[in-house]
Structure 1
């Protein structure tokens, strides 16, 4: 099943354009091109508002996600599309076979949610490898869909693991 939140990308493009326009207007206000009688709001209030918008956009985490569970692999990708996305342009992407997923965990925070995959790897067979994804601007409906898909995968992995007999 494929799932993503492409509509958030358009919303963040609009937010990024708004921040750029506010920065340009704030620079015009600070340079004094406009007369002071046209200033409805003091420039420092606009600067604080711009800083707050940029901070929330940066701290919210990776806003775009895409998940594909069709076939024998799980593909999960997140990327930042906020105002300062060029500073943290690393895309988090994992493509792993379904049988390697042992369990998962989701932790909810104020600005973002963390989705943690615990996978079995050949490099470290005794313990689990933990892969963490930061998610933001994801609806509860999408979270429930993701969790039900991951539940199906984990339960099928447990039943297969229980049915396998080890020959000595």
Structure 2
């Protein structure tokens, strides 16, 4: 579709450069992370959901969602990169390792929203550690 435009308007721009630029934009858009997120920590469960919206949502249209009891959250990590942000949950599970890791790639989240999410998760993790330490002392 862009070949006709380049033939008549942009004689000095090579076609492979435009193709490479389009492919680079698609790659960056797919790696940047999910644009929509929602978190609900009220009650006894944590519900965290991310999904792609926008022009390149057809590349990764899968919704990432986790719904778990608060007592199963052991720890979390927040990584801030150049292009995207990543939130990693460490969850107590019944596997041989007793630990499961869930990653969420995020993008376009303001620092204030991210601070709110981190504060809520920090309160949950502190409460879980306190309960675990009290149980170990009472046994």
The TM tier, using the shorter chain, reads 0.7 to 0.9
Match in the other structure for 2:93: 121
Q: Please give the TM-score of this superposition, normalised by the length of structure 1.
A: 0.69
Match in the other structure for 1:140: 111
The match for 2:61 among 74, 89, 93 is 89
Equivalent pair of 2:30/2:59 in contact (CA under 8 Å): no
| Superposition deviation, residue 61 in structure 1 | 1.5
C-alpha deviations, 1:95-128, integer Å up to 9, x for none? Answer: 000010011011122211111101111234x531
Q: Please give the TM-score of this superposition, normalised by the length of structure 2.
A: 0.82
Query: Unpaired segments of 5 or more residues in structure 2?
Result: none
Equivalent pair of 1:65/1:79 in contact (CA under 8 Å): yes
Q: Report the Cα distance in structure 2 between the residues aligned to 1:96 and 1:28, rounded to whole angstroms.
A: 53
The match for 1:130 among 101, 105, 108 is 101
- Show the 5 A alignment for 1:147-166: 147-164=118-135, 165-166=138-139
Equivalent pair of 1:105/1:116 in contact (CA under 8 Å): yes
Q: Report the Cα distance in structure 2 between the residues aligned to 1:158 and 1:58, rounded to whole angstroms.
A: 37
How many aligned residue pairs are there?
135
Q: Secondary structure at the match of 2:60?
A: coil
The match for 1:55 among 27, 36, 42 is 27
